[in-house]
Structure formats: C-alpha cells, structure tokens
Amino acid sequence: MRYDCLVISDLHLGSDVCQAVLLEQFLEWAVENTGVLVINGDIFDDLNFNRLSKRHFACLKILRRNSDRDDLRLVWVRGNHDGPADVVGHIVGVQVLDEYVFRNDRLHLLALHGDQFDRFVNDYGWLTEIACGLFYYVQKWAPHQTARYLRRVSKKWQRSSVSIRDGAVAYAASKGFRHVTCGHTHLPGIDQVGDVLYANSGTWTEQPPCPFVSVRGSEVRLESWPLATDEPAASELAHATATPSDVPVPPPSSRSRSDLQRDPSNSFPQTTRLLPIRGHDTP
C-alpha cells in the first residue's frame, strides 16, 4: 500500500509520555510506504536534549538516515515546542518550515501546526506552560486518573480545538485551499467545514493506537498505528466509541510564534475514516 503523503504531529520527543516504541515502528514503515512524510509540529517536547532517551534518538536517526533520499521528501513544520528552526533543522537534516503545501494531481493540502490560531496559548503563555508541565507529570504517574479528570474538563479544550479548527479553515480558504491539516490540539479528527476539509493528526503522547493523516489520490484519511487490519470492524467500533466530550485533551504548551499569529475571524478510536473530497484545489 503506497501513500502520496503521511502526516503526523505532536510527537513530543523528550517527554516521558511519548509513545517512542510505536513511533519508531511507524517511522520505519512510513519511510518505505510514502513519497512525502510531514511532521506537523512539536517533534520535541522542549530543547532540553538531555531528556531524550535511546528510543527518542532512534526515531531521530531514522529521519536523519532517510533525509537525502531522492524518492522520499521529509518535511518538518515547526510547532510551538520546537524552538528556532536553525537549531532544530540541522539535527534531523531537513528544512524546517512554518507551513507546507502538499500537491498531487488531485488535491492540494495545506499543513501548519495550528498554534497560531490558539488565542489562549498566545495570550497566556506562562499559564499554559505551567498547565502543560503539570499535565505530563500527572499523566506519567496516574494516566487513568488523568484521563478521568480531563473527561470532566474537556469541554473547555473542545472549544479551544473548535476555535483552532475554524481559524485554520478560514486561513486555508483565504489562500484558496480546500484541504488543511493541523496538530497542536492533541485531538485527532476530520471534519468538512463548508468547502474546506480539516484534518487534525492528534498526538503520539496518548495510549495507542496513535493517529496519523494519510493522502492517496483524492482520498484524505484519518488512520491509526498499529494499522487496523479489519476496516469493517474498525468502522463499527467508531460508532460505538465515546462522544467528543469524553476524549481527554491535554493543555497545549505556551511557546508560540508571535510573527505567525493570525486571527482569521484520548481515548482515540482505532479506526480508519474516509471522507468524500469535493473536487480539486486550485489555489
């Protein structure tokens, strides 16, 4: 199965809750099964590289080893955790971009991290930095209790996720795109909003399966790793899973890019979802 493009985000290498074993497996598979691999922000939890484990370095080595291939393009879209592009770019050997456009002969997909549409993070950076640190600390030692707590408060983060989605959709539409993908919220999902298809690639810091966005021809899917082997069963599971208010979403971090701020106005199910695509993009 060959893909045109695969998108992941919010890996948070250096964090104790990064699913590094699964990520290493996914990267080994991805570099042999796609023409373009996009890491859409927050590859690192912060720039304290002493926090990187052997598994985390193994993931970086896979990217570095495949960075010069003619048949594969690696794209790194900077997130609010990633720091200066000139620092992180040489680590993996790929160019770090603020946004990226994937193109094939059927669609154009705009990829950007999404933090530039997060008003709370941009306005209250110090507070969200503290909240993010507390979340990861508690999640490490009491993941189930953390999930239950976040289910009670997740409506607030759901509203933030919707705001980011709407900002990304408005920005994409203003540029003439009909497909846009973000990360940042840690909440995977795919929605048709007017003429724009919005996909969020979630995070690799929650319990597996771990989400990613795939493109093949005119199809944009939200899939999960490990890959689902029984798509009909996975589809049935999707209808039986919790409503969005039951999905735990951690608070995003505070490090935002002021020069990119724009204001255009888990329980994750193991499933593969296919949405219809409305024609071709002509940005």
CATH at 207: 3.60.21.10
Percent helix, strand, coil in the chain, to 5, is 40, 20, 40
> Do residues 181 and 275 make contact, with C-beta atoms less than 8 angstroms apart?
no
pTM tops 0.85? no
Of 129 and 250, more confident = 129
Residue 280 lies in a domain: no
Cis upstream peptide for 251 (omega within 30°): no
Residue 259 lies in a domain: yes
Q: Supply the Cα-derived Rg of the chain in whole angstroms.
A: 17
**Number of structural domains the chain divides into:** 1
Of 59 and 152, more confident = 59
pLDDT number for residue 108: 99
The structure tokens listed for 148 are 């239950």
Q: Which burial class, exposed, middle or buried, applies to 247 when counting CB atoms under 10 A from its CB (0-12, 13-18, 19+)?
A: buried
The structure tokens listed for 41 are 């922000």
pLDDT number for residue 45: 85
Of 11 and 81, more confident = 11
> What phi, psi does 192 have (nearest 5°)?
-95, 115
Residue 165 lies in a domain: yes
Residue 281 lies in a domain: no
> How does the average pLDDT of the chain come out, rounded?
77
Report how far residue 172's alpha carbon sits from residue 189's, in angstroms, rounded to the nearest whole number: 17
The one-letter code for the residue type at 194 is G
pLDDT number for residue 84: 66
Residue 51 lies in a domain: yes
pLDDT in tens, 198-236: 999 999 998 899 999 999 999 999 999 999 764 443 433
> Do residues 13 and 60 make contact, with C-beta atoms less than 8 angstroms apart?
yes
pLDDT number for residue 153: 53
Report how far residue 172's alpha carbon sits from residue 264's, in angstroms, rounded to the nearest whole number: 10
At residue 45, the 3 state secondary structure works out as: coil
Q: Taking the CA of residue 267 as centre, how many other CA atoms within 13 Å lie in the half-sphere pointing to its CB? A: 19
Residue 282 lies in a domain: no
> Could you tell me the pLDDT band of residue 194, with boundaries at 50, 70 and 90?
very high
Over pLDDT 70: what percentage of the chain?
A: 63
Residue 97 lies in a domain: yes
The structure tokens listed for 104 are 């094939």
Rounded average pLDDT over 136-159:
54
Rounded average pLDDT over 115-142:
60
For 260-273, the DSSP string reads G------------E
Residue 9 lies in a domain: yes
Q: Quickly list H helices, 75-142.
A: 85-92, 119-123, 125-141
Tell me the residue range of the domain where 152 lies. 3-275
Of 274 and 20, more confident = 20
Report how far residue 264's alpha carbon sits from residue 275's, in angstroms, rounded to the nearest whole number: 25
Report how far residue 269's alpha carbon sits from residue 183's, in angstroms, rounded to the nearest whole number: 17
